[in-house]
Amino acid sequence: MAVKEILLYPNPLLKEVCAAIGLWDDSVDTLLADLVATMVDAGHSVGVAAPQIGDTRRAVVVDVSKSKLGKKQENHGLLQMINPQIIEREGQVTVREGCMSVPDYTGNVLRAEHIVMQFLDQDQQLQVIKSQGFEAIAIQHELDHLDGYLFLDRVSSLKTDLFRRK
């Protein structure tokens, strides 16, 4: 288990589509442990995706239970996810996001309010969970990293404007 350096944009690894993990060997356990250690070390972080530590495999960890916003809401605590997929989305919510890989910048991003997702957990068990609120937002943000998307690609508005009617 090691704390890794968080890669910063324009590191090209952050724009790669990550590969699904087929064979589960020791390196997968190490990757998950490193992701958790890195997330914990970066005190303000609620999630880290593998490409952020230079590994382009589909793995993310999320834990909103220690954050000011997340601890007030229902959440799953530490989630270690291999090959995660969102299989249902519902509702829309705009949230102002930032990212450790793009420091000093934030933007309004439109996310699904409720999601259902499936993944393999740290014990190689298939899990299907429902998530909502801040945890769902964090999961969507981290999963975007696995497809080479940064929140910059999701910014939905520069300003509040009058409601436009078609």
Partner 1 sequence: MNHFALTIIGRDRTGIVSEVTGILYQIGCNIADSSCSILGGQFSMILIISHPELKDQHALTQAFTPLEESGLSVYLRTLKPGGEKHPDLQGEICMISVYGADKPGIVYQVAKELGERQLNITDLNTKLIGKKDTPVYVMMIEAVLNPGIEIEDVEGWMIKLKNEMKIDISVRSITPVEL
Q: Give the list of residues 6+ apart from residue 2 with CB closer than 8 angstroms, or none.
A: 33, 34, 37
* Main-chain phi, psi angles of 16, to 5 degrees: -90, 150
Q: Mark whether 142 is an active-site residue.
A: yes
Contact (CB, 8 A) for 95 and 137: yes
Question: Tokens in use for 60?
Answer: 């993310």
Give dist(CA 67, CA 87) in Å, integer: 26
The answer to whether 107 contacts partner 1 (rule: CB under 8 A) is yes
Which is nearer to partner 1, 40 or 102 (by Cβ)?
102
Q: Does 89 bind partner 1 (CB under 8 A)?
A: no
Our CB check for partner 1 shows the closer of 8 and 128 to be 8
Closest CA to 123 of 79, 154, 71, 74: 79
Please give the size of the binding site for partner 1, defined by CB under 8 A. Answer: 24
Q: Please tell me whether residue 154 binds partner 1 under the rule CB under 8 A.
A: yes
Q: Which of 2, 8, 17, 20 binds partner 1 (CB under 8 A)?
A: 8
Q: Residue 86 is encoded by which pair of tokens?
A: 């969102």
User: Is the backbone peptide bond immediately before 103 cis, with ω within 30 degrees of 0?
Assistant: no
Q: Which of 5, 16, 74, 142 is an active site residue? A: 142
156 counts as binding partner 1 under rule CB under 8 A? yes
Selected from 33, 69, 102, 129, the binder of partner 1 by CB under 8 A is: 102
105 is a site residue for partner 1 (CB under 8 A):
yes
Which stretches of the chain bind partner 1, using CB under 8 A?
8-10, 15, 102-105, 107, 110, 149-150, 152-159, 163-166
What positions carry a catalytic annotation? 142
